[in-house]
Structure 1
Amino acid sequence: MDQTAEDDAERARNRAKLYAPPAGTVRAPRTAPAGGGMQSAMALVAQLEAEDAALRGTRSARG
């Protein structure tokens, strides 16, 4: 495909067509996690600690 292109602009158009999403697809807008990044990260850490403690049969250090 690149060999048949006559210039860089045509190569760029060919790549844009090749990597474009299928027609009719709609991308969902990106949204920030509710409560902010650090709060959700801390909640995830607490959840992982609780699961780890449950698997070990002990209580969580935060808990």
Structure 2
Amino acid sequence: MLNAAEASMDAAAEDDAERRRNKAKLYAPPKGERSRDRRGRPPGMRMDRASAQALAAQFAAEDARLGAGS
């Protein structure tokens, strides 16, 4: 659907600069969309070092518990 819109906008454009502006406008994120940080994570989803180490310890404990039954 975007290709059809882009093609019709290109056909109506008078010059290359207008085509570039139209393409930038067409593929721009919605106006209400908040910009995310560099890695694309929403705010509040980060994990500090202590939490990561605790999670790794939980994984190791669960792995050991499951491996002991074999």
TM-score (ref. length: structure 2) = 0.40
State the structure with bigger RCO (CA 8 A, min sep 6), 1 or 2: 2
Structure with greater helix percent = 2
TM-score, normalised relative to structure 1: 0.42
